[in-house]
Amino acid sequence: MKRHLTRTISPVFLLFIALSLDGCLLSFRTSTVYGTVTEQGRKPLEGVKISVLGIKANRSTLLHELSTNQAGEFQLTFEVPRGYSRLDIGIPSIENHQSQEIPRLISLYINGEETKDCCSTLIGKKTKYDFVFLVKE
């Protein structure tokens, strides 16, 4: 009788493990990008487009696009489709900013640390990007 019970539990147990692992694997593909876009002096820039590109076999595909709010902030949490190896975050053009000046990027901070390497991130991470622009008048 013990053998019969063991045979019945094993397939159910394996199914439970398989479903649990699938959920874990999906959570590894959940990514969050957030941060701010400001002028030098920390004045927020509203309406700046942020692009999220998925990189697959050295080719990029636009996955998401969002804009900064009145405080110059942006945030996006999403599931990255399978097959992509990393994400690139960027500002394709600042011309969509509401002011008439054409700003120039002067500083970039990733997770609070200034860097010159823009802007790749690993999938499944929460990464903060702070872009600081110099607006010439």
Helix, strand, coil shares, percent, the chain, to 5: 20, 45, 35
pLDDT score for 118: 80
Cβ neighbours for 105, distance < 8 A, ≥ 6 positions apart: 91, 131, 132, 133, 134
Sheet arrangement for strand 49-56: 59-67, 49-56, 86-90, 120-121
pLDDT score for 119: 84
- What domains can be seen in the chain, in order of their start residue? 31-134 (2.60.40.1120)
Tokens of 86: 């990393």
Residue 6: half-sphere exposure toward Cβ, Cα within 13 Å: 3
Q: Tens-digit pLDDT profile for the chain (137 aa)? A: 555 555 556 666 555 554 444 444 445 789 999 999 998 888 999 999 999 999 998 899 999 999 999 999 999 999 999 999 999 998 887 654 555 666 677 788 999 999 887 888 889 999 999 999 876 65
pLDDT score for 24: 42
Contact 105, 131 (CB under 8 A): yes
pLDDT score for 75: 97
H helix or E strand, kind and range, residue 20: helix 2-27
H helix or E strand, kind and range, residue 5: helix 2-27
pLDDT score for 136: 64
pLDDT score for 35: 96
pLDDT score for 74: 97
pTM, 2 dp: 0.72
In angstroms, the CA 89 to CA 87 distance is: 7
